[in-house]
Chains A and B, each alone.
Chain A
Amino acid sequence: MTRTEITPSPEVAAPRSEAEIAARMKALEALMIDKGIMTTEAVDRLAEIYENEVGPQLGAAVVAKAWTDPAFKQRLLADATEACATMGIGGLQGEDMVAVENTDTVHNVVVCTLCSCYPWPVLGLPPNWYKQPAYRSRIVREPRTMLREEFGYDVPESVEIRVWDSSAELRYMVLPARPAGTEDTSEAELAELVTRDAMIGVAPVRA
């Protein structure tokens, strides 16, 4: 049986300063450029994509469409990858997406306890808190308490909480409940109400 190698030196365990990390990353990048593996323009292009093109506004559009188009909603819940593709949404870290619906009796919340899996094509890159140990460790153990204490979100005891641990290559997004009083709100205006946190499942959508 192979044993994995843990970085042995205790000195490596001491956190590096921000300046040390930046210098090490720059050194690694320089070597990768020299080896023909990386370019600064590829770094800039990727950064730009997730800053300006792929983000939670795409997931919000999907949610608003599902709220206003029953056939689309059915399609989304049956096969989120296919439904999102009809809106031109999909790609890296969303090759197999699943949408889970909040109702009067069910609340869903998404996590990745083992790393940081997240549906990039609909939500963009995850916020820091989603990737940090505090969230990943506790949301599977006491989600109701955690939502209340850490996110100020009180989910009634009568509502079942379903936690989706993204442990394989399926990527989960929450289809939140449409807020009351939005019967006359347009799809575009509805999309404005939908937040990243609501699609992770740590907040409701408020009108």
Chain B
Amino acid sequence: MNGVHDLGGTDGLGPVIVEDDEPVWHAEWEKAAFALFATNFRAGLFNVDMFRHGIEQMHPAHYLLSPYYEHWMHTAEHYAVKAGVIDPAELDAKTKYYLDHPDEPLPDRTDPDLLAFVDAAVRGGAPARRESDEAPAFQVGDRVTVTQDSPREHTRKARYIRGKTGVIENAHGTFIYPDSAGNGRGDDPKHVYTVKFTNAELWGPDNAEPNGVVYFDVWEPYLVPATGAAT
């Protein structure tokens, strides 16, 4: 989708605010928002691509102005409601209750299996690499162009690379395809390549910084063979 999250090349978003000695957590609630990614993934409420897509569906103004982990809270809420696991009215009522009674404790429950899962997930990861019999359509050194079309659903084909031509720098094998999995369909593994774009190709010769390139990782369906001479 052509969402606000697709920020590459957007101008005017202000200075970078670097905090000295930044803590891992800025508030207690951030810890719970962070944990939602692992716990709700385990519960089968989303995969990582759907998790991203839930964030992309925030209102653009809210997306830009809210603290980062509120994005995670938003997407977890989005899928929990969608799956019927929580009722939005109940969430609103409980929110009001905790707003009025911030010191009220959370329900007490222990779950040794969940605790073991957390440690195993951090250590073992959740690989996105998937086997596929599909032969790669491109190889390192090929000149390729990113297709221009604008999917309305989840995609990782950022706007700033659409229609641009580059050279394949690396071929990585097959991975889960976010344009499928992120939209609630199957893994549908596709080949992933790193494509090198010159700054001039991305921003035009008059606006590009000299002596620079951008590498962008793409799934094979985003690409077609380049036509015409190299620039």
> How would residues 34 to 57 of chain A score, 1 for a CB under 8 Å from any chain B CB and 0 otherwise?
111111111111110111001100
Min C-beta distance of A191 to chain B, whole Å: 19
Min C-beta distance of A165 to chain B, whole Å: 5
Q: Report the contact-size class of chain B (Cβ under 8 Å from the partner).
A: 35 or more
Chain B residue nearest to A169 (CB atoms) is B128
Min C-beta distance of B164 to chain A, whole Å: 12
* Choice from A35, A42, A140, A164 contacting B35 with Cβ under 8 Å: A42
Q: Given the known A-B contacts A37-B43, A115-B52, A134-B17, are A22 and B8 also in contact in the complex, defined by CB atoms under 8 Å? A: no
Q: Check B158 against A134 for contact (C-beta < 8 Å).
A: no
Chain A residue nearest to B124 (CB atoms) is A91
**Which of A7, A20, A22, A24 lies at the interface centre, i.e. has the most chain B CB atoms within 10 A of its CB?**
A24
Chain B residues contacting A55 (CB-CB under 8 Å) are: 24
- The docked-state distance in angstroms from the alpha carbon of A160 to that of B213 is 8
A13: interface (CB < 8 Å): yes
Chain A residue nearest to B211 (CB atoms) is A160
A33: interface (CB < 8 Å): yes
Chain B residues contacting A145 (CB-CB under 8 Å) are: 209
Chain B residues contacting A35 (CB-CB under 8 Å) are: 43, 85-86
Min C-beta distance of A39 to chain B, whole Å: 5
B80: interface (CB < 8 Å): yes
Q: Check A91 against B123 for contact (C-beta < 8 Å).
A: yes
Q: Check A16 against B59 for contact (C-beta < 8 Å).
A: no
* Choice from B33, B99, B215 contacting A23 with Cβ under 8 Å: B99
Which of A58-66, A68-76, A124-132, A173-181 is found at the contact surface with chain B? A124-132
- The docked-state distance in angstroms from the alpha carbon of A71 to that of B107 is 53
Q: Check A116 against B85 for contact (C-beta < 8 Å).
A: no
Q: Check B34 against A46 for contact (C-beta < 8 Å).
A: yes
Min C-beta distance of A43 to chain B, whole Å: 4
Chain A residues contacting B160 (CB-CB under 8 Å) are: 113, 140
A4: interface (CB < 8 Å): yes
- Report which B residues bind A (CB closer than 8 A): 1, 3, 5-11, 13-19, 22, 24-29, 31-36, 38-40, 42-43, 45, 52-53, 55-62, 64-68, 70, 73, 76-77, 80, 85-86, 90-91, 94-99, 102, 106-111, 114-115, 118-119, 121-129, 152-154, 156, 158, 160, 172, 175-176, 183, 192, 194, 202-203, 209-219
- Given known contacts A37-B45, A161-B213, A170-B172, what 5 new A-B pairs fall within 8 Å (CB)? A2-B152, A7-B58, A7-B62, A22-B28, A43-B32
